[in-house]
Amino acid sequence: MNAIYLIIAAIVLALLLSMLRVLREYERGVIFTLGRFWKVKGPGLIIVVPIIQQMERVDLRTIVHDVPTQDVISKDNVSVKVNAVLYFRVMDPQKAIINVEHFYAATSQLAQTTLRSVLGQHDLDEMLAERESLNSDIQRILDAQTDGWGIKVSNVEIKHVDLDESMIRAIAKQAEAERERRAKVIHAEGEMQAAEKLVLAAEALAQQPQAIQLRYLQTLTQIAGDQSSTIVFPLPMDLITPLLKTVEKNATRGD
């Protein structure tokens, strides 16, 4: 009889121990009674009646999910490979268990399709230059679609946009051509500004003939300072004319 009592006591003790569950601070237990939702319990020590009740454990911490590399065709028909990282967490354990099967896998699949859909609506230049805007668009769409699952998508970050070697060479050529175009535009703008300044200087010198002579003498001084053995320079008529008039007057008096 003692052996039977010991066996019964051991069974009762085992049942009592199986009823006890410990949930950590970041965990919750979704309890079902005879298949029907009862309540969400935790954290701490809870009791789950065997056979009658079942518990689904849910982690409330932020989950970091690496979205696999996706083949994306951009709006301008460029094929690229894109991957991203997704940050989400369960806000409502009841919805996460009841409204969707395997919420982690469902969120992952939804992130992949949304990534391809959103990036396919943009050109390659926008993918490379406007990542912040694209991240916000993807996050907003995912957050709206997973709200019914009790999931909050807090952030999406595009990690890499990989191009083919041929496309990389084409982009390099395009960038080089753009730099050359800008250099030519800057050079042309400089020539235009210099021409405008020269016109203003010519107008100012034309108003003062003495200024032209001073400028001429200054130019001769600069030329004389150069290491050249022979200097050929023209004489302006403004300097020669007074001399010719003086010679003519002297010749007339002599006659």
| Whether the predicted pLDDT of 139 surpasses 70 | yes
More confident residue, 247 or 6: 6
Spatial neighbors of 157 by CB under 8 A, at least 6 apart, are: 84, 85, 135
Place of tokens 């210099």: 194
Q: What was the pLDDT predicted at 240? A: 59
Element (H, E) at 82: strand 79-90
Percent of the chain with pLDDT over 70: 77
Q: What was the pLDDT predicted at 161? A: 86
Sheet holding 53-59, edge to edge: 36-41, 27-33, 53-59
Kindly indicate the confidence band of residue 15, based on its pLDDT and cuts at 50, 70 and 90.
confident
| Whether the predicted pLDDT of 255 surpasses 70 | no
Residue 134: other Cβ atoms inside 10 A: 22
| Rounded distance between C-alpha atoms, residue 249 and residue 211, angstroms | 27
Give pTM, 2 decimals.
Answer: 0.65
Kindly indicate the confidence band of residue 10, based on its pLDDT and cuts at 50, 70 and 90.
confident
Fold of 63-163: Tetrahydropterin Synthase; Chain A (3.30.479)
Instruction: State the sign of the Cα–Cα–Cα–Cα dihedral 207, 204, 216, 232.
Output: negative
Place of tokens 């235009």: 192
Q: What was the pLDDT predicted at 3? A: 78
Burial 92-108 (b: 16+ CB within 10 A, else e): bbbbbbeebeebeebbb
- β-strand pairing of 27-33 with 151-162: unpaired
More confident residue, 128 or 115: 115
Q: Answer for the pair 141, 155: CB distance below 8 angstroms, yes or no.
A: no
Q: What was the pLDDT predicted at 184? A: 85
User: Mean pLDDT throughout 205-212?
Assistant: 64
More confident residue, 49 or 199: 49
User: CA end-to-end span of the chain, whole Å?
Assistant: 170
Q: What was the pLDDT predicted at 187? A: 85
| Whether the predicted pLDDT of 190 surpasses 70 | yes
Model confidence pLDDT, tens digit, residues 29-49: 999 999 899 999 989 999 998
Model confidence pLDDT, tens digit, residues 66-116: 999 998 888 888 888 999 999 999 999 999 999 999 999 999 999 999 999
Domain regions of the chain by residue span: 2-59, 63-163
Q: What was the pLDDT predicted at 249? A: 67
| Whether the predicted pLDDT of 243 surpasses 90 | no
| Whether the predicted pLDDT of 179 surpasses 60 | yes
User: Mean pLDDT throughout 142-166?
Assistant: 89
Q: What was the pLDDT predicted at 129? A: 85
